Amino acid sequence: MRKKRPNEIRTKKKRLRGKWIALEILMICVGLALLTVAVLNAGWISTASPVPPPETTTESSTAATTTEEPTTTEPETTTQPPLDIDGLRDKKLVALTFDDSPQRTQTTRLLDFLKEQDVRVTFFMVGVNVKDAPEIVRRAAAEGHQVASHTYNHKDLTKLGPERLAQEIGDTAALIEELTGARPTAMRPPYGAQNAAVQAAAGTPLILWSIDPKDWSTRDADKSYSRVLANVRDGDIVLLHDLYRESVDAAERIIPALKEQGYTFVTVDQLLAARGGAKPGDVVFNRPRG
Ligand code: NI
């Protein structure tokens, strides 16, 4: 083996030093890149990408917005359209109502369609479902729909003792108020089952219905559509259920068809305000012109 000459050793050392410097530069670049990603994720620097609407908020995006409520892009208070009650009085009115919601997929679909159509409806929501999808409840209220109570557990209220009855109504009202900032002003007893005890405990008018296309049992959009269209009259309260795809399909056809017939869509509150009002405990089926 030949001995290495000193200048050969020096060149090797130089090459080694060059490699170290390259490695250091690489490490600094990686470090900077990681830091940038961290800063962007923490939201310290605002990016050009728009804030996703609350209905599309998923587990992945909630991680990045831990300090933010998913609905900060929308007003906290209920923004029902201004009531021109005198203007409504002589119009052909119909109140579409949707029971048992919210159901994340179908209620979101329905809300998107209602927004597109500029139509307000009334939701009779069930407490246990509200707990599951609070952002949908906030959205419905923020978009001017009436969020009303369909009790907490969807029990037949006429079969409950006074304490359970008060709980079913009171807990739902409190939950809706917590989410929307407004206590519900209407209650629909499950199955339409009510008696003097339910009327006394309600604290709001009891809203039943005058048109029931039985959408929940047929699960047939065609039937629901034609039953509503064949029977609807001024002042009707139409019962539908936004738990089911077929019911939302039907609503997507009912609304344009009724618009064509000259109907104005109102919430239950608007219908009552335009047609004589109602007291707590009153049972309301419809409100045709006096
Ligand atoms: Ni129901």
CATH number at residue 99: 3.20.20.370
Q: How many domains does the chain have?
A: 2
Q: Are residues 96 and 202 in the same domain?
A: yes
Q: Are residues 39 and 99 in the same domain?
A: no
* 69 against 211, higher pLDDT: 211
Q: Are residues 120 and 219 in the same domain?
A: yes
pTM exceeding the 0.95 threshold for the entire prediction: no
Centroid of ligand 1 to alpha carbon of 100 (angstroms): 5
Task: Grade residue 13 by pLDDT with cuts at 50, 70 and 90.
Answer: low
Centroid of ligand 1 to alpha carbon of 99 (angstroms): 5
Q: Is the pLDDT of residue 22 over 90?
A: no
Among 131, 130, 115, 96, residue whose Cα is nearest residue 247: 96
Q: Is 112 a catalytic residue?
A: no
Q: Are residues 44 and 93 in the same domain?
A: no
| Confidence at residue 99, expressed as pLDDT on a 0 to 100 scale | 98
One-letter amino acid for residue 127 of the chain: G
Q: Are residues 174 and 266 in the same domain?
A: yes
* Residue 1: inside a domain: no
Q: Are residues 170 and 60 in the same domain?
A: no
| Confidence at residue 21, expressed as pLDDT on a 0 to 100 scale | 60
* Residue 70: inside a domain: no
Centroid of ligand 1 to alpha carbon of 226 (angstroms): 22
* Residue 78: inside a domain: no
* Residue 74: inside a domain: no
Centroid of ligand 1 to alpha carbon of 32 (angstroms): 56
Q: Are residues 223 and 106 in the same domain?
A: yes
Q: Is 236 a catalytic residue?
A: no
Residue among 241, 242, 249, 269 flagged as catalytic: 241
Radius of gyration (C-alpha) of the chain in whole angstroms = 29
Domain assignment of residue 16, given as a range: 6-64
* Residue 128: inside a domain: yes
Question: Taking the CA of residue 109 as centre, how many other CA atoms within 13 Å lie in the half-sphere pointing to its CB?
Answer: 18
